Amino acid sequence: MTKVTIYHNPRCSKSRETLQLLRDRGIEPVVVEYLQTPPSAAELERILGVLGLEPRELARKKEPAYADAGLDDAALDRGEIIARMVANPTVIERPIVVCGDRAAVGRPPENVLAILP
């Protein structure tokens, strides 16, 4: 079976619901609590590629940390945005589920069903 990874925040209800949805389907994913163990810049770049999203599309723009990190600066290039997201993981949308070469953001949790084996 293909490894399934969830970038999870246990304090987020959508993240908890997505994790439970996986478990209800008999999938015990690798759980990465990304606030404690943020993805590296290379890992976030890979996730963005699999999702088909630009960095700002995966950012939580309403989080105070978004402006605090200067992510609202339109002059930032892709690498700078990713570096700031890694340094401030609270701005990364959650949960993200990766299954092989597919990924989905679990908002709503049912979004992840399309990528599961």
| Sign of CA pseudo-dihedral 48, 53, 56, 61 | negative
| Sign of CA pseudo-dihedral 32, 97, 11, 90 | positive
Structural domains present in the chain: 1-34+94-117 (3.40.30.10), 39-93 (3.40.30.10)
| Residues with a known catalytic role | 12
Average pLDDT score, the chain: 96
Predicted model pTM: 0.94
Q: What pLDDT, on a 0 to 100 scale, did the predictor assign at position 16?
A: 98
Phi, psi (rounded to 5 degrees) for 38: -65, 150
Q: What pLDDT, on a 0 to 100 scale, did the predictor assign at position 117?
A: 84
Using the predicted structure, report yes or no on whether residue 1 has a pLDDT greater than 90.
no
Helix 41-51 / helix 78-87 crossing angle, nearest 10 deg:
110
Question: What are 12-62's pLDDT values in tens digits?
Answer: 999 999 999 999 999 999 999 999 999 999 999 999 999 999 999 999 999
